[in-house]
Amino acid sequence: MATRVGQVLLPVVDQGGLMVVADLAGRGLVAGAVIVEPVDAGLGDAIAVAQALSATGRLVMAVDEEGGTVQRLHELLGNLPSARRMVDSPPDEVRTMVRRHAEAMAGLGFTVALAPVLDVGGGPGIGSRSFSDDPAVVATYGEAFAQGVRDAGLTPVAKHFPGHGRASVDSHEDLPVTPPIDDLRSVDLLPWESLPEEMAVMVGHLSVPGLTDGVAASLSAAAVTGLLRGDMGFTGPVMSDDLSMGAITDDMDVPEAAVTSLFAGVDLLIVGPVSNVVPVAWALVGALDDGRLSADRLNDAVRGVLALRGVDPCGLVR
């Protein structure tokens, strides 16, 4: 049970925190990590140690490397232009530029790029992270970015489903409200209709009138299982945005949010600081024991995460 629960947990750490991740991974208690600054030239070695100690095979090593204002590796790899500036170049040039950058990421040991941003519009918290206010432009350049990541052997993660670009506030601070779902269908959801294969999706902390009943999409079965999986037919891995963000923690603690998100259909839970791993794990075990979560839902999530990692599920025996 502990090993299966661990495979849906992804803490956020800096380079020094990878030592803790390596210890947890050695006991099968995490699926990997999201790495943030500060980092230095020893980052590749620190990632390699965590991978070597993992008891459950290849770990997710993920990083927000969008370009512009959101890139954690700029001191090591140099800068990428923002999404809003990328559209000044043809899509094939963007694909090549991103491939070269992602190859350098792969050289450090990263397996997942938390990009591209498919949000339509540059509302609070997004700004130049969005390619455009035009969904067709977002779709074209989002695909070029994703293909560049894939060309380098990494998995791209499209975000923030179902669309943060026209939401009311920054989800780092509070729970944003988007336009109603019917409005999203005609604008914000268009770039999500033809996602490239071998891609994952990050669900945002977004209240969608007419869909999520006042809660975040990342906690909503209507958004994840109904809209993304059902209506849009997405079959790949689904991860939450960071559950320690203000949009979530203003109303509930991270362990409670993790239970709710997994129940909603999310596979991989970004749980914030590594200190959250144990409390979240115990909350998930408790929810399995009292019936709020089914073993089948956990197993489906684990299969999705292992597919993202390229790990044979037959290797998980506990």
Is 204 in contact with 217 (CB distance < 8 Å)?
A: yes
Residue by residue, DSSP assigns 81-146 as PPHHHHTTS-HHHHHHHHHHHHHHHHHHT--EE---B--SS--TTTGGGSS-SSHHHHHHHHHHHH
143: left (phi over 0), alpha (psi -120 to 50) or beta: alpha
Query: 64, 119, 188, 241: which one is catalytic?
Result: 241
Query: 14, 172, 174, 253: which one is catalytic?
Result: 172
Of the chain, the end-to-end C-alpha distance in Å amounts to: 6
Q: With the C-alpha atoms ordered 53, 58, 59, 63, is the resulting torsion angle positive or negative?
A: positive
241 flagged as catalytic: yes
Q: How many other β-carbons are positioned within 10 Å of the β-carbon of residue 61?
A: 25
Indicate the burial class of 168 (C-beta count within 10 angstroms; 0-12, 13-18, 19 or more). Answer: middle
Residues 19, 27: Cα–Cα separation, whole Å: 13
The residue among 66, 18, 63, 26 whose CA lies nearest residue 43 is 18
Residues 265, 226: Cα–Cα separation, whole Å: 9
Residues 252, 282: Cα–Cα separation, whole Å: 16
Residue 268 half-sphere exposure toward CB, CA atoms < 13 A: 31
> Which residues belong to the active site?
172, 241
